Amino acid sequence: MSAARSYGYRAFFSEPGILMCALAAAFGKLQAGMFSLGILYAVADQRTYSAGAFVVAVSALGGLSTPLRGRLLDRYAYGVVLWTILVIHTVLVGALLVNERMNGPFWITVASALVGNLAAPPIGVVTRVMWRSVTTEAGRPTALAFDSVLADAGFILGPTLAALACVTFAPWAGLTAAVVFTAVATLLLPKNIGDDKSSAEGAERHWAGPLASSRLVLLLGATLCFATTVSVLEIALATPSESKDSQLLSGLLLSVLSIGSIVGGLLIGAMTPALAARVTQLPVLLLALAVFAAALAVGSEAGWFVAVPLCLLTGLSFGPSFVAVYGRSGDLAPPGTAAETQAWVGTALQLGAAAGAGAGGVLLDIWGPAGALALAPVAAVIGAGTAYLGDRVRTTVSAPHEAKARSGQ
C-alpha cells in the first residue's frame, strides 16, 4: 500500500481482518448502550421503575473495577480472561433474571446486577487496545475516530434495540440480548491483541501500574474534566423550560449535539495523519469546547436558530476529543499496561459523567438550565490547562512507549 493511500477509511477497511475487528467493536458498543436499559425493563416488569432505576444505579458501580480487569488482561492471555469473566457475567445476569421471574428477594437482584457488572468483559477497553495492534501509525487516527463514532452510534442505537427486544419478545429480552452481543463481540475479537507480553515481562512493573506516570495521571484529569463538560451540557440541554415547545427543542439540541460528535469523529478519520495529529491536540480542543459551551450558555435562550448551530459546533469537538484522549493515553501507557491504561481512561470518563450529572442537577435547581450550562466552559478550561500541563511534564515511565509510538512501530 503506497504512502499516499495509507490513511483514510478506504485504506483502513482494506486492511486484512479489519472488518471482523469493526464488527467486534460495533457489537461491544451496542452492548454498552443496552445493558442498563435491559436491567431497568427486566426489574420494572416484576417490581417498579424506581426499583429498576435503583438496580441500574448500583450496577453502574461495577464499572469502577474496570482497571482491575484491565490489569488482568495485561498479565494473562486476552482470550482466557475475557471468556472466564464472560461466563461469570452470564451466570450472574441469569441469576438476576431467574430471581425476578420467581419474585425472589430484592437484594439478590441488586447483588447480581452489581457483581455481574463487576465481571462484565471490558470490550470497549479491548477494542481500543486492538486498534493499536492491528493498524499502522498512519491508520491509527482513522481507527480511533471510527471507534469514537461507533461509541456515539452505540449509545443511540443500543437503548433502541433493548427497548425493541423487550417490547417484541419479553421484558427480559433486552438484557439477554446485551449478553448475547457481548459474547458475539468476544468471539469476533482477534486472538493476538495487546502489548507484546514477552517484551513487557522484562520491564519492572510498578505497583501503581500506569498511574505511576504523572503525565498519564494529568491526562486522566483532563479526561475527567472533558466528560464533566459533556455531561453538564447533556443534562442542561435535556431540561425543558416552561415554554410549550421547549421539550421538542431539547430533544433537537441533544440530537444535533450527537450528530456533531459523529461528524467530528468522521472528519478526523478522513484526514492525513499529520493533519489529524495537529487537530487532535487535547488542550486546543478543550479550549475550543470551552468557547462553544460558553457561547451556548449565553445564546441558549435566544431560540433554536442560535442554539442549533452552537450545539453543532460544540458537538464537533466531542469526537476529536475522544480520539485525542484514546490516542494520547495509548502513547503514554507504560510497557505492559495497555489494557489497564485504557481502563483508567474509561473510569475517568465515567467519573466525569457522574460528576457532571450531579453538579449539573444541583445547578439546575438553583439557577436553571442557563446556570448549569455555565459550568461546562469552566470544566473545559480546567481540563485544557491540565492537558497542557501534562504535555510538558517529563517522566521516564512513559518514555519507552512514546518513543515506540513516534517511530511508527
Amino acid at 89: H
CA distance 365 to 289: 24
Within a domain: 1: no
Are residue 188 and residue 218 in the same domain, yes or no? no
Q: Residue 271: CB partners within 8 Å, gap ≥ 6?
A: 7, 141, 279
Q: Are 353 and 320 part of one and the same domain? A: yes
Q: Which residue has the higher pLDDT, 174 or 199?
A: 174
- Mean pLDDT value across residues 17-29: 94
257 assigned to some structural domain: yes
For residue 241, pLDDT over 70 is answered with no
Per-residue CA distances from 180 to 110, 173, 174, 177, 184 (Å): 21, 10, 10, 5, 6
Question: Which of 91-105, 148-162, 192-206, 368-382 has the weakest average pLDDT?
Answer: 192-206
Q: How many domains are contained in the chain?
A: 2
- For residue 300, the enclosing domain spans 209-407
Q: DSSP characters for 375-389?
A: HHHHHHHHHHHHHHH
CATH of the domain at 41: 1.20.1250.20
Q: Provide the grid cell at 300.
A: 441558549
Looking at the structure, do residues 280 and 228 belong to the same domain, yes or no?
Answer: yes
User: What's the pLDDT band for 137 if we cut at 50, 70, 90?
Assistant: confident
249 and 146 share one domain: no
- pLDDT over 70 (residue 244): no
Distance CA 233, CA 318 (A): 11
> Which residues, 6+ apart, have CB-to-CB distance to 29 below 8 Å?
124, 150, 151, 153, 154, 155, 158
Residue 14: count of CB within 10 angstroms of its CB: 13
Kindly give the residue spans of alpha helices, DSSP state H, lying in 271-337: 273-279, 282-299, 304-316, 318-332
Q: Is the pLDDT of residue 98 over 70?
A: yes
Q: At what angle do helices 338-373 and 66-75 cross, to 10 degrees?
A: 160
Q: Residue 43 — pLDDT band, cuts 50, 70, 90? A: very high
Domain end call among 138, 164, 194: 194
Residues 267, 121 share a domain: no
Burial of 365 (0-12, 13-18, 19+ CB in 10 A): exposed
CA distance 409 to 389: 27
Same domain, 256 and 188: no
246 and 176 belong to one structural domain: no
315 in the same domain as 229:
yes
Residue that is last in its domain, among 142, 170, 194: 194
55 and 182 belong to one structural domain: yes
- The dihedral region occupied by 303, where left means phi > 0, alpha psi between -120 and 50, and beta the remainder, is left
pLDDT at 404 over 50: no
* pLDDT in the model for residue 247: 63
pTM, entire model: 0.88
What is the number of residues in the chain? 409
pLDDT at 271 (0 to 100): 93
Q: Does some domain include residue 258?
A: yes
Whole-angstrom CA distances from 278 to 157, 186, 204, 290 are: 31, 34, 33, 19
Environment class of 214 (CB within 10 Å of its CB; exposed 0-12, middle 13-18, buried 19+): middle
d(CA 345, CA 339): 10
